A = this chain, B = another copy of it.
Amino acid sequence: MKSDFNAYNYLLQHDIKPSVQRLAIINYLYEHRTHPTADEIYAGLIDQIPTLSKTTVYNTLNLFYQQAAILSLTIDDKNVRFDIDTSDHAHFKCLNCGKVFDVPAVLDSVTAIALEHGFIVAEKHLYLKGYCSSCNESPNK
């Protein structure tokens, strides 16, 4: 089953000039909704693009973020994680297996309160931490 995602147009829509590397990275994010780190993206693409540089991965992700084509998640204090899903949703990180899950959420009320305080809100991040259902049922350690 082939992906119906048009990476080329997705980049153009965000004023990003497509290149082999940029298309590969945005496609990787489309196909891997696990909120990968820059290093994971690099490891996942190095076979496909043997000349790929880790610097390019970082530069490209920063460009995507600046152009609001992806989210940059700091739920983990060690690595920044990336998400092609820029819609309003929360994230849950399991303290046992480390996976980051999506959680449906609406954050309008908090944004409204921030506006009342004179803040102009550009980004909203709701991070939850705890134990996922798998790790809860069969705890590791």
Residues of A within 8 A of B (CB): 72, 74-77, 80, 90, 92, 94-95, 101, 103-107, 109-111, 113-114, 117-133, 136
**Can you pick out 25 interface pairs between chain A and chain B where the beta carbons lie within 8 Å of each other?**
A74-B75, A90-B110, A92-B114, A92-B117, A92-B121, A94-B119, A101-B117, A103-B113, A103-B119, A104-B113, A105-B113, A107-B126, A110-B126, A110-B128, A114-B130, A118-B132, A119-B130, A119-B131, A120-B130, A122-B129, A122-B131, A123-B127, A123-B128, A124-B127, A125-B128
Q: Identify A124's interface contact among B106, B128, B132, B133, CB under 8 A.
A: B128
Q: CA separation between A125 and B92, bound complex, in Å?
A: 10
